[in-house]
Structure 1
Amino acid sequence: MTDTNASSQWLLLQSLELSWIQVYPSFVFGALTYLIIIVCNLLVSATIAMNKKLHKPMFILLFNLPLSDLLGATAFFPQFLFSILSHNRLISTDACMLQAFLIHVYGTANLLTLAAMAYDRYIAICSPLRYHIIMSPKKLVKIIFFIWFIDFSIMAVLFALFARLTFCSRKMVDLFCNNPSLLKLTCEDKTVNNIYGLVGIVFLQGGTLSIVIYTYAQILRVCVMTNNMDTRKKAIQTCGTHLTVFVILQVNTVFTLLAHRIESASPAMRRLLGLSVLVFPPFLDPMIYGLKLTELKESIQFILRKTLSKLRRE
């Protein structure tokens, strides 16, 4: 059935296939996961914002990561948890479009932020004497502005191209709204959308991967050539943390996108991969950075001790 007024439609998300016995445990598990994501990411953000010692390029760039993680998690979890309790998998077209837009903004922001952080580590390790000149406050503001400007621009065009299409189906193939699943609901010519999507994937996935590979190759070269063990240790610590986070996001995203492109891919596997993109990075990012970066870990511990001390006195 084709509906020219797509904004008035209700779309049906893929069933969770939960029995009555599984509803409340699933809701509690999901709610706890969301709560941990919120608390951990807000803690990292607040620590960076409140501690002047952390007002350095690396941590200011890192500040963007929990913001985008919170955006992605909040776009997904509230609706998901509500649908678990209500057994209602219906979502309005407008709400679905908004959810898809925010989820894609989250993923893109993470990729671009991690690429910028790789560039920052490259300058810090390969050109330490010129670091503060290259990564000046003015340059840092420009980098952050371009991260979000490029992100919102790419996603605005992506969803503007989609808005011109009409639906001939209302049953989604995924557990949440995203561009590939929405495109499968329309029977119109999607050539322009597919070409733009592929170009976007090559630019974002390929571009960020190229930056990380190049910067880490240069960092590795410097680490091999230097005799300073402290420099080596610091490089391995900061770069190892960053690389772990980048690989988790990149692998999850690439396999999810491929699963949508390959018709023979298992639907269950595709849904699981899609969920992993929304759960693992927001859940693991603050823990990895909070535990591995010494300055950030010490600052978080100080804030927690101070807060607990204040609560005891009260």
Structure 2
Amino acid sequence: MENHTFGEDILILEGLKVTSQSFIPAFILLLLVYIFIMVSNIGLVALIFRCRSLHQPMYLLLCNVSINDVFGATIIIPHVLRDLLISNSLRHIHYTDCAIQAFCVHLHASASHTILMIMAFDRYVAICNPLRYATIMTNGMVVMLSASAWMVSLVMVLILVGLSVRLSRCRWIIFNPFCDNASLFKLSCESVLINNIYGLTYTVVLLGSSIGSVTLTYLKIAVVCVLSKNKVLNRKALQTCTTHLAVYIILLVSGFIIVILHRFPQLSDHRKVAGVLGHVALPALNVVIYGLQIKEVRQRIIISFHNSKLAVMEVK
């Protein structure tokens, strides 16, 4: 009876296949990247909140990106780091923890799209309606947009994972380095038709609204820039929109790569690596792209670094 209970509650994780020669370099590299993600993103949020000149809608919305990146990286990277240090026989997870991790994984992915959608709206208002920008993008509007981005993702993912948790289980192996919704419902021998229907609807609604809204927004911005002969406006639009668009394209490409690899079981190892990299590379790239490309943020980082250097010299 105890063994039966243990089997029902504990799942076996199929981790990354790392050789004995490469697991130490992989562990060190992953740890350094995680430290960079945490320090840079938290530092960026602190910098924006500390500097009054950065208390603008664009930067306040950017805080959502950094918070989501810290959230997404923390879900996966410490878990993978732990599994790199232990043997395959010890790679297990409690079902409740697996369900929570799956929920967080999809919340991070969904929020990545909804947050970039509201940031696209902010750029649209700033470039297409500059005279009304201050009256439209108030602090209340920023809070409402941010809350909406998180709440929509929360509700959609809650239903997604809830439909999988309700199923009984007849399998105990997760063919992935971490838990996601597909891992959960594949544990069941029941019909998963409802899960597949809602999962497809969830994907179509999320990606359709995301791609559609961002595409429409940038088409309108492009029309305004083409018709306008204001070089300052066009330069500002190019600078801010290129940064946002680069982050969005990277997000889409990484997501589509994982979806495509799911269609090829023989490439399961590549899919696992791609899944982990999606929670490692994106948070690291986002902070670099936004932090270094936005002039005001870059200047503040240089000033802060210079002041810290002077303080150290004075202490010496």
With normalisation by structure 1, the TM-score equals: 0.93
- Whether the 8 Å contact between 1:8 and 1:92 is mirrored in structure 2 is no
User: Quick one: which of 88, 92, 98 aligns to 1:90?
Assistant: 92
Task: Determine whether 1:216 maps to 2:221.
Answer: no
Per the alignment, do residues 6 and 132 of structure 1 end up closer, same or farther by CA in structure 2, a change over 3 Å counting?
Answer: farther
Q: CA deviation at 1:259?
A: 3.4
Q: Within 2, Cα distance between the matches of 1:106 and 1:7?
A: 29
Alignment map for 1:55-66 (pairs within 5 Å): 55-66=55-66
Q: Within 1, Cα distance between the matches of 2:146 and 2:247?
A: 19
Q: CA deviation at 1:242?
A: 0.3
Report SS of the residue matched to 1:187: coil
Q: Within 2, Cα distance between the matches of 1:72 and 1:287?
A: 16
Per the alignment, do residues 6 and 157 of structure 1 end up closer, same or farther by CA in structure 2, a change over 3 Å counting?
Answer: farther
Report SS of the residue matched to 1:176: coil
- CA deviations on 1:85-133 (whole Å, 9 max, x unpaired) are 1223212212221211111111111111111011100110011111111
Q: Within 1, Cα distance between the matches of 2:307 and 2:104?
A: 35
Structure 2 equivalent of residue 127 of structure 1: 129
Q: CA RMSD in A?
A: 1.9
Q: CA deviation at 1:82?
A: 0.9
Greater shift, 262-271 or 119-128, is seen at 262-271
Q: Within 2, Cα distance between the matches of 1:8 and 1:311?
A: 56
Structure 2 equivalent of residue 145 of structure 1: 147
Structure 2 equivalent of residue 11 of structure 1: 11
Structure 1 equivalent of residue 49 of structure 2: 49
Q: CA deviation at 1:230?
A: 1.2
Greater shift, 79-88 or 208-217, is seen at 79-88
- Whether the 8 Å contact between 2:77 and 2:280 is mirrored in structure 1 is no
Per the alignment, do residues 166 and 312 of structure 1 end up closer, same or farther by CA in structure 2, a change over 3 Å counting?
Answer: farther
Report SS of the residue matched to 1:20: coil
Report SS of the residue matched to 2:280: helix
Per the alignment, do residues 252 and 4 of structure 1 end up closer, same or farther by CA in structure 2, a change over 3 Å counting?
Answer: farther
Structure 2 equivalent of residue 36 of structure 1: 36
- Whether the 8 Å contact between 1:109 and 1:147 is mirrored in structure 2 is yes
Q: CA deviation at 1:265?
A: 6.3
- Whether the 8 Å contact between 2:76 and 2:279 is mirrored in structure 1 is yes
Per the alignment, do residues 28 and 212 of structure 1 end up closer, same or farther by CA in structure 2, a change over 3 Å counting?
Answer: same
Alignment map for 1:182-221 (pairs within 5 Å): 182-221=184-223
Alignment map for 1:260-275 (pairs within 5 Å): 260=262, 262=263, 266-275=267-276
Q: CA deviation at 1:4?
A: 9.7
Q: Within 2, Cα distance between the matches of 1:310 and 1:182?
A: 52
> Which letter does structure 2 place at the counterpart of 1:303?
S
Work out the number of aligned pairs and report it: 311
Q: CA deviation at 1:187?
A: 1.3
Q: Within 2, Cα distance between the matches of 1:52 and 1:190?
A: 51
Q: Within 1, Cα distance between the matches of 2:312 and 2:174?
A: 48
Greater shift, 85-94 or 67-76, is seen at 85-94
Q: CA deviation at 1:216?
A: 0.3
Structure 2 equivalent of residue 78 of structure 1: 78
> Which letter does structure 2 place at the counterpart of 1:226?
S
Alignment map for 1:96-107 (pairs within 5 Å): 96-107=98-109
Q: CA deviation at 1:181?
A: 2.1
Q: CA deviation at 1:7?
A: 9.4
Q: Within 1, Cα distance between the matches of 2:224 and 2:190?
A: 53
Q: Within 1, Cα distance between the matches of 2:301 and 2:230?
A: 29
Task: Determine whether 1:296 maps to 2:293.
Answer: no
Per the alignment, do residues 238 and 6 of structure 1 end up closer, same or farther by CA in structure 2, a change over 3 Å counting?
Answer: farther
- Whether the 8 Å contact between 2:76 and 2:276 is mirrored in structure 1 is no
- Whether the 8 Å contact between 1:168 and 1:185 is mirrored in structure 2 is yes
Q: Within 1, Cα distance between the matches of 2:7 and 2:201?
A: 27
* 5+ residue gaps, structure 1: none
Per the alignment, do residues 270 and 18 of structure 1 end up closer, same or farther by CA in structure 2, a change over 3 Å counting?
Answer: closer
Q: Within 2, Cα distance between the matches of 1:7 and 1:244?
A: 45
With normalisation by structure 2, the TM-score equals: 0.93
Q: Within 2, Cα distance between the matches of 1:309 and 1:8?
A: 59
Q: Within 1, Cα distance between the matches of 2:281 and 2:303?
A: 26
Task: Determine whether 1:165 maps to 2:167.
Answer: yes
Q: Percent identity?
A: 34
Greater shift, 7-16 or 214-223, is seen at 7-16
- Whether the 8 Å contact between 2:171 and 2:187 is mirrored in structure 1 is yes
Q: Within 2, Cα distance between the matches of 1:4 and 1:71?
A: 34
